[in-house]
Amino acid sequence: MSQFIHILPVITVLIAAVALMFMSMYTDKFSVKTYIGVSSIVLVAALIFVFIPFGESFSIKPYNSVFNNVLIFDTFSNFFYVLLIGGTLLTLLIGEHYFQHRDYFKGEFFSILLFALFGMMILANANELVTAYVALEIASFSVYIMVGYNSEDSRRVEAIFKYLVLGSFIGAFYLLGVVLVYGATQTTNLTEISHFISTTNLNDAPLLYIGLTLILFTFLFKISAFPFQQWVLDVYRGAPMIITAFMASTFKIAIFSFFLRAILQDLQTIVNFWDSIIYVVIVLTLVFGTWLAVSQKLVKRMLAASSIVHTGYLLLGFIAIGQNMDAAYSVVFYLIAYLLSALGSFGLVSHIISETKVRVTYDDFKGLAHERPFLAAMMTVFMFSLAGIPSTIGFMGKFYVFTEAIHAGYIALAILAIIATFVSVYYYFKLIAMMYFYPTKGECVSNDFNDKRVSTYAIAFLAIITVVGGIGSAIVFFIPVLNIDTLINLTQVSIQSLFIK
């Protein structure tokens, strides 16, 4: 029974995805609101199942006769379950207003969203390269469909075509890498690959390095690092706004969940081999991403470009893992900070435009603080967090990543990242200035806009957590759940579970 409890969240999401798919056959019987409600209830139930063993340090491979050690259920995957399910649930709640004002959203869309979540959860558990590929493709193809869901919009069609072609191409790189790794080690199981690395002279196994490097390229593509970032602006721009929020936050976390597991648990002894590649990638990602973000006029494209810069920050923590294991904690914490900030900012824009057809340029935000001070205040919080301003969780995330990078000896990279952070103040604060210091245009929101909606409360919740995550230790030390030290401790426990034998 204890083994079944650990796989229950995954099974719950899968059954719900299939059930919603059958429900979608009866288009006249169920409204979009019903699908949102059913999906939300299922995700809450899955979260409850996750919290049954949450905080415990465990690592099991359940039902070996069925799974053959290809999946590991541990505190690490459980921790990421919370982020993935929570991110999907918040996507639904934030997008409630957006979904209901877009006629093309049908029941099958919410089934596809849960299938994407199912793939991401399996990816967090994957202990085998082919299993990871299948899970990644389940999630990826679900996201492809959601990007181009409204086939009548040419932007959606263009976005899905670019994303599908490039994603399939990079998927071939992954499979070629798996073939080469198998040729070198005679296995695709990460535990067995780790044993091969520890018992073999790797100078005689060049295919292993080549294969893992090709798999690394897939990782860099999925997280939109240079030079694989070309798709980001067009795909994020063409996708429905709420799906852009999902891709920028939750999907990126799923990618990191697998590669962090592989690096920390199985490839730790050879990770330094890629230092020079990652070093160059970080520099170019930060420089190119910053240039793109500064040059954008559409808020959506600016946020998309800034996500490339945040990828650079995450890779900065990633490269430090080879010299300093504590850097892994900073990467996971930064993922949490970025999840809250990105989901909040993208989601708030989708909330604002849910009843309008504006393109959402900087000018469209002029005077928003005078019309909707509550929304403007929340957007300001998210911009502060993305820019790394003190008193927000984004500042804490950057502080930990930069500190661990310096401790690992990457001082020049940390300085470059700090410079990129200072530059980011320009394009984030430009949006704040538009909201507070310019007269209203009266185009961004309608006059009868009703703030008392589920999506408004969900965004407000994110804004509160974003602030509490930055100053929680100072003002809510008496509430352990909200204390930032508790979050850091949970992060450490999750990472340490990877080394349970």
54-102 pLDDT tens trace:
667 777 787 777 777 888 888 888 889 999 999 999 888 888 877 777 7
Could you read off the pLDDT of 109-156 as tens digits, one per residue? Answer: 888 999 999 999 999 888 888 999 999 999 988 888 888 777 666 777
Q: Which helix (H) or strand (E) element contains residue 485? A: helix 484-496
Mean pLDDT of the 18-23 span: 86
Q: Which residue has the tokens 């295919």?
A: 207
**Each residue of 292-326: pLDDT tens digit?**
888 888 888 888 888 889 999 998 888 888 777 77
pLDDT digits over 358-394, tens only?
557 777 777 777 777 888 888 888 998 888 888 888 8
- Indicate whether 484 pLDDT > 80: no
Specify burial of residue 501 (Cβ count, 10 A radius: 0-12, 13-18, 19+): exposed
Rounded Cα distance between 394 and 309, Å, is 13
Q: Output DSSP code: residue 202.
A: G
Q: Cis before residue 227, ω within 30 degrees of 0?
A: yes
Lowest mean pLDDT among 118-122, 146-150, 170-174, 468-472: 468-472
**Residues 89, 78: Cα–Cα separation, whole Å:** 16
Per DSSP, the residues of 42-110 read HHHHHHHHHHSSTT---EE---HHHHTT-B-EEHHHHHHHHHHHHHHHHHHHHTHHHHHT-TT--HHHH
Give dist(CA 333, CA 310) in Å, integer.
Answer: 13
3-state DSSP assignment of residue 439: coil
pLDDT of 487 reads 67
Contact indicator for 326, 407 with CB cutoff of 8 Å: yes
Is the sign of the CA dihedral 465, 471, 473, 476 positive or negative? negative
Residue 419 is predicted with a pLDDT of 92
Structure tokens at 131: 């299993």
- Of residues 59 and 407, more confidently modeled: 407
Q: Would you state the pLDDT for residue 500? A: 67
CA distance 413 to 314: 12
What phi and psi, each to the nearest 5 degrees, are found at residue 274? -95, 10
Helix (H, G, I), strand (E, B) or coil at 126: strand
For 265, the enclosing helix (H) or strand (E) is none
Count, in order, helices (H) and strands (E) of the chain: 22, 2
Which pLDDT score is estimated for 99? Answer: 78
